[in-house]
Amino acid sequence: MTAMNKSTELIDTARNIVAITLRASGREDLAKMVLQGAGDDLPELSATVAALTDLYGQHARLKQALQFYADESCWDDDLPGGALTIHDRGDVARNALLGRDIFRHRD
């Protein structure tokens, strides 16, 4: 996937990381080019976008899992069938940690 298919925040972060790396390598010319929005074909940018895409996905899943467990209704014993956490038994957390959709049901 090219850099243009990703969110603006992710791309901006990737560009900043790559620019720092290029400057550290003595390539100020390439660093400026990347910061100006060019260089999508640079392997450094592609690799950084791929790594950040994975990290952003992991962060989103972990955040969803925390939101699930932080919801007071998740712990409500008065729900028909009992609290959701009784039935969940940590599945939401395990799915998030394994990189799966947090509401993936066991098959």
**pLDDT given for residue 50 in this prediction:** 95
pLDDT tens, position by position, 20-43: 999 999 999 999 999 999 999 999
**pLDDT given for residue 106 in this prediction:** 62
Q: Is the pLDDT of residue 49 over 80?
A: yes
Judge whether 93 and 65 are in contact, CB under 8 Å: yes
**d(C-alpha 107, C-alpha 103), whole Å:** 12
Average pLDDT, the chain: 90
pTM beyond 0.85: no
pLDDT tens, position by position, 61-78: 999 999 999 999 888 888
Q: Could you tell me the residue ranges of all domains in the chain? A: 3-97
